[in-house]
Structure 1
Amino acid sequence: MGEVTTFVASTVVSSSTKSTTIHVSGTSAGAETVLKSALTIEEEKAVKLSPEPAPAKEDVIVSTDEKGVLVATATAGSSADLAAVRTTTSTSPESKAVCKASAPGADGEDGDRLSQGHERREVSKWEFRIVVSIILFWCWANGYDVSNIANIQPRIYEQFHQIQFLPWIGLSYCSATFASFMFARQLTRCIDLRWLSVIGQVIFIAGCAISGASQSMAMLIVGRTITGIGGAILSLISYTYIAAIATPTQSARIISGIGVFWSLGIIVGGPIGSGFAENHHATWRWALYFVIIPTAITLVLTIPFMPRYTVHTSETSLVRRFANVDFVGVLLFMCSEALFSIAMLFCGPVWRWTSGASIATWVVFAVVFVAFILQQAFCIFTTPESRALPVALVFNRRMTPIWVASVCSGMSYGVTMYYTPLFFAFMRGMGPIKQAIRLFPFIFVLIVSLSLTGRLLPIIGRYKYVYMSAGAICLAAGASLTATLKTTVPDGQVLGLTALIGFGLGLHFLHGVSVSNAIHPSERDRIDGSLVGNIGLLGGISLSLMMAGSIYQNIGYNKLSHVLRGQNLTKAEIQAALAGVSSTQIFSNPDTMRESLDAVCDVLARLFYIIAAAGAVCLICGVLMKDEKLDFQKSTEKEEDEESARPTQQ
């Protein structure tokens, strides 16, 4: 049992003084966390500390005494995380609310009390349904946008050329979303989520409009980057609402629904985008404009129907909330991500690996990234509560394997989604629409697997074995594709193996956030867990695209240029052929066509090593996860008991 600490906070409101006493068994730092999470103070607050004995209970009792003073009492281990304490006020001295506090101790003790009472915000049933509907509809629009851009790249290249920038059309969105997550998290602590959602949708629409109207490749990349920033805000808002208002069981189902609707958007994005791109009157520009329509619909629904919601912080003043934003950490993270993307995509295709530009970019990236790590570790120009990255939640023996597995799921998704169509483009000569159709087995099985896992995970509870199964399946399917992918391989075999990847992917794609929501009783920890889970997923997608793009362009160029030596082809022409946007000259020559196709197929096969490696890492993470059973249903029941025990405010 740790030291017992009492906090007394006084607030002056309209010339009257309100006092709150909180008894905490734990470290002073833990008690301070309880105080900051439990109190909503309008004006200045004064805090005093004094030791007092604590009752031998595990519950956190929140009640009012005969004088109307609100008292919360808790006991836990010395390293307790009691941020979940929720206080209420009442004029009735008999009124009480009970919140179970999760108290993770040292390694090996953090799983003894699982799925205890979870704090959540009250919303009506119709508000809950509207929030979920808006979130799912927007996820469909986002899925369409991601799939659409991958299918219209050949037509964009025909207009702007500049093959060295073509990979940035797809990567700029993912990278901008990934880089903006931490800033979006900071904004959720400053602005009401309804209006922040409006801002995010306006940014998303503006980015789509700029992309569609772009007159150069650079302008198109800027537009996609703006779209990604809006996407980051909307994604984090979606998960924040889920963390705040959904029970663990509801959370698992909604998050699997997000994956399903995103995948449905991907299904329609390919054919619709390709249809626009192949139409000489509409062109690829209307493929980008089209997503404005569903986003505008969600915007219209958001303003009147989305419930107002503000994330709890220790500050109530808007100015003070913005003053607490970790701008230094956010800027360092964005810069390090941008530098890493530039280094991965420009070294080789644009710069020689030994050139000064390549070396300088890698050196600057390393310096900025180390600066970010040190700034977050030692809270330079920030505080532990306000720093951009929730370090304690990331580097946690219980949660770290889950976050790493989220990265693995993103990597498997990115390679399968973006490079499987290239196989059918080169080896079978298929156009964009037929390429998109060949992805249907992968996406349909992914949808089924996502849905089943979202339904069964709350029943099974043992997420460890779900992740182990996911890793083993992705490892086997990725290794099989690498070993068997040849120009003569039957289409059915490729489709079957990609469908198997989809099944394994559906077992752990997005579900890390569901597990985090079930583990953490604190609203703040659930929101931070959503941030880390999304960073892992989008980071995995971005990392896989950068790695695969670098391997494909560098090794593919070397192999193809060796086969085509003596044909006087420029570097740009060979790179365009590798990108699948201009291959008529190269692959129409009967003397070199077979060797060229074999070279490209060999490089594509190597990319599936990334999926095999990601599956192996996911399997290892599953083995390292704590063997525990999360009782989602028990969590929900206790939350409902807590709701009925909550006193009515006067």
Structure 2
Amino acid sequence: MRVDTTTASSHTTDHVEVNNHTEKKADASMVHETDEDTAPTSPRNVHGLRWALVCISIYVSLMTYGLDMTIAADVQATIIVQFDSVDRLAWVGSGFLLGSVCSIFPVAAFYTAFDYKYIFIVSVSLFEMGSIICGTAPTMDALIVGRVVAGIGGSGIYIGTLNYLTALTSNQERGRYMSCIGLVWGVGAILGPVVGGAFSQSSATWRWAFYINLVIAALCAPSYIFFLPSIKPTDSAKVGAIPAISSFDWFGWILSTGAIVCISFALTNGGNIWPWQDHRTIIFCVFSGILIIATAVQQRLHLFTTVEKRLFPPPHIIKNRTITLLNIQTAVTIANIFVPLYFIPLYFQFVHGDSAIDAAVRLLPFVLVFVTISLLSGVFLPRINYYWVLYAASAIFISVGGGLMYTVHINTASAKIYGYSILLAIGSGLSSQAGYAIAGIKITSKGWPTFDVQRSISAQNFWQITSSLLALLISGQIFQTFAVRNLMFALRDHGFSDADIRGAVAGLQSSLLKNLELHLAAKAASAVTEAMRPVYILNITYGIICFLGSLVMKKERLFAKRPIAMP
């Protein structure tokens, strides 16, 4: 099934024309009516069962992307045992996010130059290739390479989903479809530790945590091949696909990618593998700063590119207050998910002695609430109509939830932890994906071209994945630093080496902490719990940023109210 090229590629303009035409009609039988009450012409020509299959297949692929983003959380202990490489363990989790964030802009450029369908299928193929490499990896290095490749493919899946749903939905229905993106991605991300833990403790082994992606892709493949619509971007039709790719800001991408990689090396290895004063840590910190400045200068002066084609969106998008604030809000509400996602299971493993799967199951209250609120947020948005209110509410839940999690200690009741995590889930569920729908609606309402919608989506996605990567790296760095220090103090006179302590913190608690005498086990559990508390300062910070952002947002309606019809 193919979408008519002209219709698909000019969907943004069509939305504006349809809505303007609709707003001019007056229905004498209605007294009060809003834009969302009308039924605009559908921007797609695939409907019914085929449209349902398309949505299901791309949502399922998106769920596997979310799943792989966090699946390493509960398989790391068995991976360490097999490869005996605790020093590179952090890269199993961060490598996937690093591959994703570094590939966002090039992948987005391919979507503006080639048929959406082809790029989406290639992205799925890359994701599965990475999964195969991970599943068959004979060494830790091979596993890390596989994670990076899978991250690149996953980035294409995510951007493709956003582009498809922006192109094939009307302004009025887009919020519902975008909320489903948050739903399925969130379900995958939150279930990652559960699935990973289940496979790592089964006869299938941790390798099936990656092989399962191949089974899912095989089930969705017929829908990708036969039902996924073809959409050719307007810009590539005008200038050609190859010139469109050639004009991409490759120089800016190299600079920004170098900065991200250097930051990742510094935060992953500094203070953990290398001392902070080590020359390698200093070199990566210095180079990351230099490359960040170089990227800013290159983008500002658009060196080796043009102002329209530079890596980050052109000035009229960046200077738009609403779009910039949406980027910030999406970044902090998504980053808010990752701290409880990793540290709630870790708490129950260390304090209650839970197995990996039992600890992951403790996330179910967080999962169920996040899923429910994410689904409902698409309904709330057009009814509330003031999007700043949604973000203000999110900020309150995130700040309060983070503050309460900061108070958790070794004797805190499990029910309280569930309640605190639910507050964090509500905060992110309300608005973590709303920014995509709002940005699309605001840009189309201004009559800006399709290319601007795609640039805005890719930029927002970049900040989302970047914030996720930084949340993972920074929270891990905070926890590792405090946990190692606290455990060394608690166990300093009992013959444990630095390697023993670091291995326990990394996930080998079954071989050390579980064999301690009762009084030492209590001291160790208390030391680890105290190390987790500072991590939740990140959530409090996210909530404060989100609240301040909501205050400076425009107090405008998302959908303008229609005038009252005269009898």
Same fold (TM over 0.5): yes
- Say if 2:559 is the partner of 1:631: yes
Shift of 1:236: 0.5
Verify: 1:423 aligned to 2:350, yes or no: no
Residue equivalent to 1:285: 207
Q: Supply the distance in 2 between the matched residues of 1:513 and 1:118 (Cα, whole angstroms).
A: 20
- Establish whether residue 599 from structure 1 lines up as the match of residue 522 from structure 2: no
For 1:378-432, what per-residue CA distance to the aligned partner results, in whole angstroms no more than 9, with x for missing partners? 1111112222211432342222222111111122111011111100000000011
Equivalent pair of 2:190/2:367 in contact (CA under 8 Å): yes
1:258 is paired with a residue of what secondary structure?
helix
* Counterpart Cα distance in 1 of 2:231 and 2:389: 36
What are the Cα deviations for residues 44-94 of structure 1, in whole angstroms up to 9, with x where unaligned?
xxxxxxxxxxxxxxxxxx9xxxxxxxxxxxxxxxxxxxx96679xxxxxxx
Q: Which moved more, 1:270-279 or 1:533-542?
A: 270-279
Which stretch of the first structure deviates more once superposed, 490-499 or 120-129?
A: 120-129
2-side partners of 1:584 and 1:210: how far apart? Answer: 29
Aligned counterparts of 2:113 and 2:331: Cα–Cα separation in 1: 28
Structure 2 counterpart of 1:169, one-letter code: V
User: Which range moves more in the overlay, 413-422 or 289-298?
Assistant: 289-298
Superposition RMSD in Å: 2.7
Secondary structure of 1:436 counterpart: helix
**Residue type of the partner of 1:599?**
A
Q: State how 1:85-484 maps to structure 2 within 5 Å.
A: 121-126=43-48, 128-266=51-189, 269-280=192-203, 282-313=204-235, 315-392=238-315, 393-483=317-407
Q: Which runs of 5+ in 1 are unaligned?
A: 1-36, 41-61, 63-82, 88-96, 102-113, 635-650
1:505-543 per-position Cα deviation (integer Å, ceiling 9, x unaligned): 111111111111121113323222221221222122111
Cα deviations by residue, 1:237-286 (Å, 9 ceiling, x for unpaired):
11011111211222111111122222333465444432321123x21111
C-alpha spacing 1:453/1:332, structure 2 compared with 1 (3 Å): same
Partner of 1:57: none
1:569 is aligned to 496
- Higher CA-based Rg: 1
Shift of 1:123: 2.8
Query: Contact 1:128–1:245 (CA<8 Å) still a contact in 2?
Result: no
Partner SS for 1:569? coil
Counterpart of 1:609 in structure 2: which amino acid?
Answer: I
Contact 1:120 1:244 in 2 (8 A): no
**Is contact 2:70–2:93 with CA below 8 Å preserved after alignment?**
no
**Partner SS state of residue 313, structure 1:** helix
Q: How does 1:41-120 map to 2 (within 5 A)?
A: none
1:424 partner amino acid: F
Correspondence 1:506 to 2:506:
no
Structure 2 segments unaligned to the other structure (5+ residues): 1-5, 22-34, 563-567
Higher helix fraction: Structure 1 or Structure 2? 2
- Measured at CA, do residues 182 and 266 of structure 1 come closer, stay the same or move farther in structure 2, by a change above 3 Å? closer
Quickly say closer, same or farther: Cα 1:451–1:632, change in 2 above 3 A: farther
In 1, are the aligned partners of 2:112 and 2:454 still within 8 Å (CA)? no
Is the CA contact 1:510–1:533 (under 8 Å) kept in the aligned structure 2?
Answer: no
Give SS of 2:232's match. coil
Does the alignment pair 1:617 with 2:545?
yes
- The answer to whether the 8 Å contact 2:335/2:467 transfers is yes
The answer to whether the Cα contact below 8 Å between 2:116 and 2:160 also exists between their aligned partners in 1 is yes
Amino acid at match of 1:328: F
What is the letter of the counterpart of residue 543 of structure 2? G
Cα offset for 1:150? 1.8
Match of 2:487 among 560, 573, 578: 560
Question: How far apart, CA to CA, are the structure 1 residues paired with 2:242 and 2:314?
Answer: 25
Is the Cα contact below 8 Å between 2:500 and 2:512 reproduced in 1? no
State the Cα distance separating 1:144 from its structure 2 match.
3.0
Which stretch has the larger CA shift, 510-519 or 558-567? Answer: 558-567
Q: 1:84 to 1:590 in 2, by over 3 A?
A: closer
Q: Is the 8 A contact 1:394 1:403 kept in 2?
A: no
In 2, distance between residues paired with 1:381 and 1:147?
A: 37
Once structures 1 and 2 are overlaid, which stretch shifts more, 156-165 or 584-593?
Answer: 584-593
Q: SS of the residue aligned with 1:579?
A: helix
Instruction: Supply the distance in 2 between the matched residues of 1:351 and 1:399 (Cα, whole angstroms).
Output: 39
Q: In 2, distance between residues paired with 1:192 and 1:473? A: 41
| Aligned-partner residue type, residue 313 of structure 1 | D
Distance 1:417 1:350 in 2: 24
Measure the CA separation in 2 of the matches of 1:139 and 1:319: 28
Question: How far does the alpha carbon of each residue in 1:324-372 deviate from its partner, in whole angstroms, 9 at most, with x for none?
Answer: 1221122222211111111111110111111211111111111111111
Comparing both structures, which one devotes a greater share of its residues to strand?
1
Q: Cα distance, 1:591 vs. partner?
A: 4.2
Identity %: 24
* AA matched with 1:438: R
Q: Measure, in 1, the Cα distance between the counterparts of 2:224 and 2:43.
A: 18
CA 1:432–1:616 in 2, change beyond 3 Å: closer, same or farther?
Answer: same
User: SS in structure 2 opposite 1:189?
Assistant: helix
Decide which moves more: 622-631 or 373-382. 373-382
Residue 565 (structure 2) aligns with = none
- Preserved contact between residue 97 and residue 151 of structure 2 (Cα < 8 Å): yes
Shift of the alpha carbon at 1:98? 7.6
Q: Report the alpha carbon displacement of residue 317 of structure 1 after superposing the two structures with TM.
A: 2.1
**Alpha carbons of 1:267 and 1:345: their partners in 2 closer, same or farther (altered >3 Å)?**
closer
- Aligned pair in 2 of structure 1 residues 515, 184: CA closer, same or farther (>3 Å)? same
- Tell me if structure 2 keeps the 8 A contact 1:477–1:497: yes
Show CA shifts across 1:192-237 (max 9, x none).
1111111101100000000011111111111000000000011101
From the superposition, tell whether residues 422 and 395 of structure 1 become closer, same or farther in structure 2 (CA, over 3 Å): farther
| Offset at residue 576 of structure 1 (A) | 1.5
Deviates more, 1:340-349 or 1:239-248: 239-248
Q: Write the distance in 2 (CA, Å) between the matches of 1:501 and 1:546.
A: 20
Alignment CA distance shift 1:609-1:223 (3 Å)? same
> Is the CA contact (8 Å cut-off) linking 2:308 and 2:314 kept in structure 1?
no
The residue that corresponds to 1:534 in the other structure is: 461
Q: Give distance in 2, aligned partners of 1:480 and 1:321.
A: 50
For 1:270 and 1:547, locate their aligned partners in 2 and report how far apart those are by CA, in whole Å: 19
What amino acid maps onto 2:361 in structure 1?
Answer: I
Residue type of the alignment partner of 1:610 = L
